[in-house]
Amino acid sequence: MALQPLPANAVIGILGGGQLGRMTALAAAPLGYRCHIYDPDADGGPAAQVSFAATSAAWDDWAALDAFAEAVDVVTYEFENVPVATVEYLMKRVAVRPGPMALEVAQHRVTEKSFARDQGLETAQFWGVTTLDELIDGLSAVGVPAILKTCRLGYDGKGQIRVDMESSLATVWEELGSDDAILERMVPFVTEVSVIAARGADGEIACFPVTENSHEDGILRRSVVPARVSDAVAAAARKAAETLIDGLDIVGLLAVEMFVTEDAEVLINEVAPRPHNSGHWTQNGCATSQFEQFVRAVAGLPLGPTDILYESEMLNLIGDDVDKVSGYLRDPDAHVHLYGKAEARPGRKMGHVNRRLSPRRG
């Protein structure tokens, strides 16, 4: 059933106050929507700087959540570590898109990979680990090399340790510091790709083109589109994203990160029910940006076209990379997007640059 589109001047509530919320608010404004940010550290944050209103309160401040629900017309979230209880509380008071199911799956790596397999999709071999004995059993089942990761709250390479034959499992287990973990067999992939899918309340799905990604130290550094993969691999990646966003019954976006092996097998790595770093190129290289598409889905508008305008690359500005901005500003093919963060720290995403590589032909 199609949603009645939100009228002009409606307020979209966003849980989370980072750069994804910032760019969502900037995309909402031309469509006539205002954004209200809710985050424990909302004041002066990247999203609050460009939004209509902001509430700085705890995720379990029920009185603040009541007031927030009264002030907005719909709620969404810009990162997947919002407590599920917060979303469930708000759902009793205002529409929340996507719902809590997507959060529950994305917040726990074992649940995430199990869900993908339940949908008929392939993942790396994995083993849930809650004790040292289970880690020993898991290593026998999964093999080496492997990666031991926390099941929750890991991002940008944090909360994970490589495990080899010479590793001391007792030491590794102690270093991880979590009793809720996943052991994953390292995949000998040739390419990392992602697909961002959008889904409206009527079930319409639109996928952005497959993007090729390069990471350093667990952090995305560069994305290129179109990805240098075969048509068959691209089709399989899009189909996987469509399957997952449908299975999760998402109204909004789902980013799906995947590995491509030498045998052209596509393996699901991670999902995120929100805009994604690998989709930032769409701001300048696509007919509709991922942020506008996100707003369109949440607001009940028709989804926009996802055609490539230019072959593009996205470069993250991490830490003191931000000092290079003046050079990018002199490049007519470069578009700089800064996040309004005051302090550049190692590993901190300060902004990104979208560069046009060449016009799309054909």
**16 labeled binding residue:** no
pLDDT at res. 358: 80
Whether 17 and 45 have beta carbons less than 8 Å apart is answered as: yes
Give the position of tokens 């092996």: 261
**269 labeled binding residue:** yes
Whether 269 and 184 have beta carbons less than 8 Å apart is answered as: no
**157 labeled binding residue:** yes
pLDDT at res. 362: 46
**113 labeled binding residue:** no
Q: What is the pTM of this model?
A: 0.94
**9 labeled binding residue:** no
Q: State the SS3 of 242-304.
A: HHHHHHCCCCEEEEEEEEEECCCCEEEEEEECCCCHHHCCHHHHECCCHHHHHHHHHHCCCCC
**104 labeled binding residue:** no
**108 labeled binding residue:** no
**109 labeled binding residue:** yes
pLDDT at res. 156: 58
**156 labeled binding residue:** yes
pLDDT tens, the chain, 362 aa long: 457 899 999 999 999 999 999 999 999 999 999 999 999 998 889 999 999 999 999 999 999 999 999 999 999 999 999 999 999 999 999 999 999 999 999 999 999 999 999 999 999 999 999 999 999 999 999 988 999 999 997 665 568 899 987 678 899 898 998 889 999 999 899 999 999 999 998 999 999 999 999 999 889 999 999 999 999 999 999 999 999 999 999 999 999 999 999 999 999 999 999 999 999 999 999 999 999 999 999 999 999 999 999 999 999 999 999 999 999 999 999 999 999 998 999 999 999 999 999 865 54
Q: Cβ-count burial of 205 within 10 angstroms (0-12 exposed, 13-18 middle, 19+ buried)?
A: middle
Q: Cβ-count burial of 312 within 10 angstroms (0-12 exposed, 13-18 middle, 19+ buried)?
A: buried
Q: Fill in the amino acid letter for 154.
A: G
